[in-house]
Amino acid sequence: MTATAVPAADEAGLFAPRLRAMTIGSVALVSLLAFEALAVGTAMPTVARSLDGLALYGIAFGGPFAASVLAMVASGIWCDSRGPRTPMWHGLVWFVLGLVLAGGATTMGVLVAGRIVQGFGSGLLSVALYVIVGQAYPEALHRRIFAAFAAAWVVPSLVGPALAGLIVEHLGWRWVFLAVPAVAVPAVLLIHPGLRALGVTAVTGLPAGAAARIGWACGAGASAALLHIGGQQRGAAAVALVALALGGLLVCAPRLLPAGFLRAGRGLPTVVGLRGLASAAFVGAEVVIPLMLSRERGLSPTAAGLVLTTGAVAWSAGSWVQGRIPSPRSRATLPRAGLTCITAGTAVVAVTVVPAVPIWVGVLGWAGAGLGMGLLYPSLSVLTLELSAPGEQGRNSSSLQLGDSLFAATVLALTGAVLAAGTAPGPASYAGTLAVAAGLALLGVVLAGRVAPRAG
C-alpha cells in the first residue's frame, strides 16, 4: 500500500487546504449516521402502525444491527486489501439504497429489508472512515479529528428525536428516510478528492483467515439480532432468546476481536476491551436514568430527557479538551481518567434513587460520566491506529467498533430483562443496574494500564 507524504503545512489543523473538504465531508457523514440512528427510533412506532407491522418491530432494529456487524468485518478486510476508497463508495450506495427502499416501503417487510440494507451500508462507512483518518491525517491531528467525530454526534442527539418527530407530524414518516441521501451523497463527494490524493493502493489478496472471519461475523450478527429481539420480549421467551443469543456471541465474538481480548492482553486487546466496557457502562446507565427519574422522582419525560442532554454536551466538551491538551506521557492517562469519571459519575447518579438526594446531584454526576466518555472515546480511537500496522488498520478499526456495539447491545438486552423481571421496576432494580454499570467502568480503570504493549 502506498500513499503520498503528508506535507508539513497540513499540521496546521483540520481545516488546512489539503484537509478542509475531507474534514467537512467526514464530520457531515458521521452526523448523518448519528441522526439516522436516533431519528428512526422516534419514527418507528408511527411506521409500524402505518404499515400494520408491529409483529416485525423487533427485527426492524435487530436486522440492521446484525447487518452492520457483518459489514464492519467485511469493511475491515476490504480496507486492508484494497484501501478505504472502494468500501466508502459501496457503503454510500448501500446506505442510500436502504434509505430509499425504506422510505418508499408499502409493507413492513419491505421496510425491514431497507433497514437491513441501510445497516450494512452504515457498517461499511463507519470502518472506512477510521481507516481514512489513519491514512489521510497526520498523527498529530488524530485526536482532533476523532474529537470532531464525537462532537458530530452531539447535535443529532440533542435535536434528532425532536426533529424526527416534527418531520413525522408535518411531512410524514417517509421523509425521515428520504431526506438523508440529499446530504449523504455530497458529503462523500467532499471526501473523494482527498482519497484520490492518498495515492494508488496496491490490490493484494484477502488477508489470511478472511473467509473464516466473515463466517464468524455472520454468527455474531445473527446472535446480536436475536439478543435485540429477545430483549423486547417478556417472560420465558425473553430468557430463552437472550440465553441463546449470549451463547452465540460468546462463541463468535472472540474470534472477531484481537487475540488475547478475553484475558485483557496488553496493547490492542485491552484498548478494544476498554471501549466495550465504557460503552456498556454508559449505555446501561443511560437507558435506566429517564425511567428512574420519571417514576421515582416525578420528572416529566422532557425534564428527564434534558438530564441526558447534559451528558451529551459534556461528552462533546470532553472530546474537545482531549484534542487540545498536550500528548500525555503515558498511553493510559486519558483512558484511565475517562473511565474514572464514568465510574464516579454513574455512582453519583445511582445515589439519586434516595429521595433525600437533590436531583441536581444526579445531573452533575451524569455530566461527569459524559465528560469521561469524551476523554476516553477519541483517545482509544487514536491508540487503535497507533498500534496498527498500515495493513491492519481496517481489521483493528472494525474490532474496536464491533466490541463497542456488541458490549452495548448485550448490556441493553440484559438491563431490559432485569427491569422487566418484576411487576414494575423499583428503586432496588434501578440501583442494581446502575451499580453494574459503575462496576464495568471500574473494571476498565483497573485494566487501563494495560493499553501500553510490552516493550519490544
Are 155 and 107 in contact by the 8 Å Cβ rule? The answer is: no
For residues 25 and 129, the answer to whether their CB atoms sit within 8 Å is no
Per-residue confidence (pLDDT) for residue 225, from 0 to 100: 81
Distance CA 144, CA 382 (A): 10
Confidence of residue 4 (pLDDT cuts 50, 70, 90): very low
**Mean of all residue pLDDT scores within the chain:** 83
Average pLDDT over residues 258-264: 85
**Between 130 and 428, the higher pLDDT residue:** 130
Residue 344 has pLDDT above 90, yes or no: yes
Residue with more model confidence, 307 or 91: 91
The C-alpha atoms of residue 276 and residue 291 are separated, in whole angstroms, by: 24
Q: Is the pTM value of this prediction over 0.75?
A: yes
- The pLDDT assigned to 231 comes to 66
pLDDT of residue 281: 92
Question: pLDDT tens digits for 120-165?
Answer: 999 999 999 888 888 888 888 888 888 888 888 877 777 777 777 7
Rounded mean pLDDT, 273-282: 92
Among 9-13, 76-80, 178-182, 346-350, the range with the most confident prediction by mean pLDDT is: 346-350
Q: What is the pLDDT of residue 6?
A: 43
Q: Which grid coordinates are listed for 297? A: 422522582
- Is residue 279 over pLDDT 50? yes
- Cβ proximity of 448 and 314 under 8 Å: no
Q: Is-contact 437 346, C-beta < 8 A?
A: yes
Q: Output the nine-digit C-alpha cell for 392.
A: 491492519
In this predicted structure, what is the pLDDT of residue 9? 37
Whether the pLDDT of residue 390 is over 50: the answer is yes
pLDDT at 329 over 90: no
Residue 185: φ, ψ to 5°: -65, -50
> What is the mean pLDDT of the segment spanning 379-399?
87
d(CA 401, CA 130): 10
pLDDT for the residue 34: 83
Spell out the residues 6+ positions from residue 211 whose beta carbon is closer than 8 angstroms to its own.
none
Cα(41)–Cα(176) distance, rounded to whole angstroms?
11
User: CB of 70 within 8 A of CB of 221?
Assistant: yes
At 204, give phi and psi (nearest 5°).
-115, 170
Percent of the chain residues topping a pLDDT of 70? 90
Q: For residue 33, what pLDDT is reported?
A: 85
Distance from chain centroid for Cα 292: 24
Q: What is the mean pLDDT of residues 69-83?
A: 88
**CA separation for the pair 41, 231 (Å, rounded):** 16
Q: For residue 165, what pLDDT is reported?
A: 78
pLDDT value for 205: 62
Q: Is the pLDDT of residue 72 over 80?
A: yes
Most confident among 9-18, 80-89, 99-108, 335-344 (mean pLDDT): 335-344
Give, to the nearest 10 degrees, the angle between helix 359-386 and helix 289-296: 180
Q: What is the pLDDT of residues 165-174, one digit of tens each?
A: 788 888 888 8
> What is the pLDDT confidence band of residue 5, given thresholds at 50, 70 and 90?
very low
Q: Mean pLDDT, to the nearest integer, of 78-95? A: 87
Residues 120/99, Cβ–Cβ less than 8 Å: no
The confidence score (pLDDT) of residue 307 equals 81
The pLDDT, as a whole number, for residue 424 is: 60
d(C-alpha 7, C-alpha 138), whole Å: 9
Q: What is the CA radius of gyration of the chain?
A: 21
Residue 180 in this model has a pLDDT that exceeds 70: yes
